[in-house]
Amino acid sequence: MTKLLLRALAGETLDVPPIWMMRQAGRYLPEYRATRAQAGDFLSLCFNPELATEVTLQPIRRYGFDAAILFADILLLPQALGADLWFVTGEGPRLSTVTTQDDFDKLKQAGEIHDHLAPIYETVRRLSRELPAETALIGFAGAPWTVATYMIAGKGTKDQGPAHALKAENRPLFEALIDRLTEATIDYLSKQVEAGAEVVKLFDSWAGSLKGEDFNRYALAPTQRIISELKTRHPGLPIIAFPREAGAGYIGFGKATGADCVAIDNSVSPRWAAENVQKDGCVQGNLAPGHMVTGGQALVDATREVVAAFKNGPHIFNLGHGITPDADPENVQLMIDTVRGG
Ligand code: CP3
């Protein structure tokens, strides 16, 4: 097993950590913008295996990252379950909402998603053929809570208010939605693995807005169920969990869910995460994405701080959240050179 990413996920402490970046195929890259224009729009790009493969490979060619992440989106799963999905330029995603029993009853069953998602599986198959031998392939899905927040509100929200409201007002319906998403996510990720994904990551971008027992029930428990079922179906499959902004909830999250690696956002210090989270196993993170915009000596210093904090245990170098469209591609190179060159 030579791929650096797989070695870190297996618990090995490496001299130089493997590197990849959330949203590494994205609008900060001119070659991405060109391919997206060729596809027409974002969703057409996601469902075009040839072009989705191309944009996944672009940051690998340019930077030689240690991992490629499938180009797709967490909202393709609700679409496969029957929700309408479109993207409003400059604003973000829009979906038909699920707020009543009637809305819920119209959703497809977990096992019925695969015809719609077949082009995504085809992209994974192409990537597993075309990637360099040293590059690991990561598949992904949104965690049930985060996906539910978009399905309930019909868009992204600052505080996930509509999802919290449904949870308070109609808990059985809310829990039925979480269960349907949990089952569909297991089937979706399982097909990605069969197509060639070597690692899977669960994005729980809004985990931080679940407090107390809600965090355990709707972030931790569904993640645990997905991981245990995936590991039964695919023994040895490494899994990264990202309960973003979980704060103290990061402590013990890997052990409680069975995740091989816990991805850390940049609202916590790397030193704190090393002491409290990395003590249990591999961590991923957590440079602030803003450095990819501002660059300079501050980028170098912050990168060195992350590397130094995590150097005594298994670590995958990444940002604390996705790179933004205003980032400078040269700053990404500076970050990589700093990680690899000291
Ligand atoms: O990381 C990667 O490069 C893989 C591809 C990927 C995308 N989205 C592509 C994308 C992944 C892993 C995601 C995950 C995703 N999508 C999350 C979880 C991670 C996070 O960022 O918190 C969420 C919440 C979404 C939903 C989503 N997709 C939103 C809210 C938006 C609009 C905001 C934005 O950045 O424009 C998207 C669009 C999206 N997904 C883009 C990309 C490259 C931009 C689309 C474009 O080209 O216009």
Q: Is residue 255 included in any domain, yes or no?
A: yes
Catalytic residues: 23, 27, 36, 73, 150
- Ligand 1, residue 140: give the atom nearest the CA: 12
Q: Is residue 24 included in any domain, yes or no?
A: no
Using CB distances shorter than 6 Å, the residues near ligand 1 are 22-27, 36, 42, 69, 71-75, 92-93, 140, 142, 156, 203, 205, 322
Residue 6 has pLDDT above 80, yes or no: yes
CA nearest neighbour of 80 among 54, 52, 129, 46: 46
Amino acid 1: pLDDT: 63
CA nearest neighbour of 11 among 342, 273, 315, 327: 315
Q: Is residue 273 included in any domain, yes or no?
A: no
Amino acid 342: pLDDT: 64
Confidence of residue 295 (pLDDT cuts 50, 70, 90): very high
- Ligand 1, residue 325: give the atom nearest the CA: 35
Q: Which domain, by its residues, includes 158?
A: 71-263
CA nearest neighbour of 95 among 110, 115, 80: 80
What is the CA(335)–ligand 1 centre distance, in A?
22
pLDDT in tens, 140-180: 999 999 999 999 999 999 999 999 999 999 999 999 999 99
The CATH number of whichever domain residue 118 belongs to comes to 3.20.20.210
Is beta strand 282-287 parallel, antiparallel or unpaired with respect to 261-263? Answer: parallel
Q: What is the DSSP letter of 256?
A: H
8 A C-beta contact, residue 53 and residue 127:
yes
- CA dihedral over 177, 179, 184, 189, signed as positive or negative: positive
**Average pLDDT over all residues of the chain:** 98
Dmax over CA atoms of the chain, in Å, equals 57
CA distance 271 to 47: 40
- Mean pLDDT value across residues 241-261: 98
CA distance 50 to 44: 11
Name the domain count of the chain: 1
Q: Is residue 87 included in any domain, yes or no?
A: yes
pLDDT in tens, 171-211: 999 999 999 999 999 999 999 999 999 999 999 999 999 99
Residue 279 has pLDDT above 90, yes or no: yes
One-letter-per-residue 3-state SS of 268-291: CCHHHHHHHCHHHCEEEEEECCCH
CA nearest neighbour of 77 among 197, 167, 183: 183
pLDDT in tens, 12-47: 999 999 999 999 999 999 999 999 999 999 999 999
What is the CA(341)–ligand 1 centre distance, in A?
30
8 A C-beta contact, residue 192 and residue 120:
yes
What is the CA(155)–ligand 1 centre distance, in A?
13
Q: Is residue 303 included in any domain, yes or no?
A: no
What is the CA(73)–ligand 1 centre distance, in A?
6
Q: Is residue 269 included in any domain, yes or no?
A: no
Amino acid 300: pLDDT: 98
- Ligand 1, residue 27: give the atom nearest the CA: 47
Amino acid 317: pLDDT: 99
Q: Is residue 112 included in any domain, yes or no?
A: yes
pLDDT in tens, 90-137: 899 999 999 999 999 999 999 999 999 999 999 999 999 999 999 999
pLDDT in tens, 39-94: 999 999 999 999 999 999 999 999 999 999 999 999 999 999 999 999 998 899 99
Q: Is residue 1 included in any domain, yes or no?
A: no
